[in-house]
Chains A and B, each alone.
Chain A
Amino acid sequence: MNPPNDNYSACHGLWREHPVLVQLLGLSPLLAVTTTLANALGLGLVTLIVLLGSSVSCSLLRRQLNGALHLPMLLLIIAAWVTCAELLVRAYAYPLAQALGIFVPLIASNCVILNRAQTIATRHPIGTAALDATVIGSGFLALLLIVGAIRELFGRGSLFADMHLIFGDIARDWLWQPFDGDYTLLILSMPAGAFLLLGFLIALKNFLDSWLLPSSESPPEKPIAGSKRVRTTGKIN
């Protein structure tokens, strides 16, 4: 475990420490559910809410959540939020619950949530924990939406299909089919295609990083000639 990072910045979660693009966490829902934009939006929103809830409660209880048993305690809290989310989705958006199926309960196994609970929420006050959860959850949601839109558009030849699962009947005629009716590209509808697509997106991000921000990673400073290396323990701010 790393010591608490005092110069923590929440914004990094959107790009430099993106949970999926950089840390490669939470791949299972990303690959399995994003066959349509509607599914991606549904799962992304539920994940965001669960992440926010578990981060805030872990931060509230952070004085209790330490010691050898902190992991089972965190998992209990996360599982509780997931169970509540599943009950609420089934009660108020039953068709969405059917469309997402097992992937709503499986949010409990999304490592992004445990990662944020362990590294941020249990070490920071509620405000920071909530901000971090919002940023990380939005970054995750945004990527789900990108992958979902690309897969739906090029895999099934449509966009905004099934949006009524989330927005109700007014969304029934949002469906947009730019290609002709029989168009499908099966590989993109399957998890393997999603994996490939994610690889390309990560490559794109790395390319943008090296192209747009060439100076952000300055080369390590050269030791001054003649200086001796000093061994330090602990952290110097």
Chain B
Amino acid sequence: MTVKTAPNRSQWLRLLGIALLIGTLVTTLEILTRERIVASQTSAALDYLRQVTGPDDQGAAITFENWPIPNRQLGLLGLSEGDEMHIALRAGQPIAAIVPSISNAGYGGAIQLLVGIDFTGRIIAVRVISHRETVGLGDKIEIAKSDWIEAFSKRSLSDPAAKYWAVKADGGIYDQFTGATITPRAVVNQVAATLQFFADERAALAARGTSQANPEARE
């Protein structure tokens, strides 16, 4: 009973009708859940923030604020307008920037990173928030699968020098994985770009922190 004839107009109309009905329902659900999904992502991101700011060893509690990212830097970080970075403050003073950064050079689409940088420009930690790299190969960038990502800790833009900010296959210092070079290369290059962003903006961020801590000193 397989139908061999070409679809007629009423069948196309039915397909269109079902597509419209389904499109409406899915869009409605998307709107209903959007807020909740963003909230879940934020709370998961907060867990990551605590991982990338390191243990709270100095006594005073660390608080987080969202600060805007200048539009001219969005391209470098792979972000879109309205995305913000997080600033960790201790006693009102900014001590670290946690910068979201997205690489589109991965093997399976966007790799979302969170890069924690202290105000001397050194990396505290890097974490992969989401990725679609190959299971068993590229997924070693996750802290749950391997400690490869810890190789960035304490590194800065000058340590190693710029030309060594690459995977070993490209003459740098960072390991690639057997059978997977594209994924670690994408992460290394994106982390370097994020450090560059921070180097460009550090003065402005520190100034904003000072003026926030002493509001009366603001002009």
Contact = CB atoms under 8 A, between A and B. Distances in A.
Contact of B12 (A64, A69, A101): A69
A141 B205 CA distance: 52
Nearest to A190: B136
Interface string A18-35: 000000000000001000
B163 interface: no
B25 A69 contact: no
A113 to B, nearest CB: 15
A181 interface: no
A32 B135 contact: yes
Interface stretch (A82-90, A128-136, A223-231): A82-90
A115 interface: no
B132 A94 contact: no
B199 interface: no
Interface in B24-46: 25-26, 29-30, 33, 36-37, 40-41, 43-44
Interface in A55-108: 61, 64, 66-69, 72-73, 76-77, 80, 83-84, 87-88, 90-92, 94-95, 98, 101-102
Grouping DSSP codes into helix (H, G, I), strand (E, B) and loop, the A interface class, with mixed when no group exceeds half, is helix
Contacts of B3: 66-68
Interface residues of A, number: 28
B2 A69 contact: no
Contact of A69 (B15, B30, B108, B135): B15
B37 A91 contact: yes
A87 B30 contact: yes
A68 B7 contact: yes
Interface of A: 1, 3, 32, 61, 64, 66-69, 72-73, 76-77, 80, 83-84, 87-88, 90-92, 94-95, 98, 101-102, 190-191
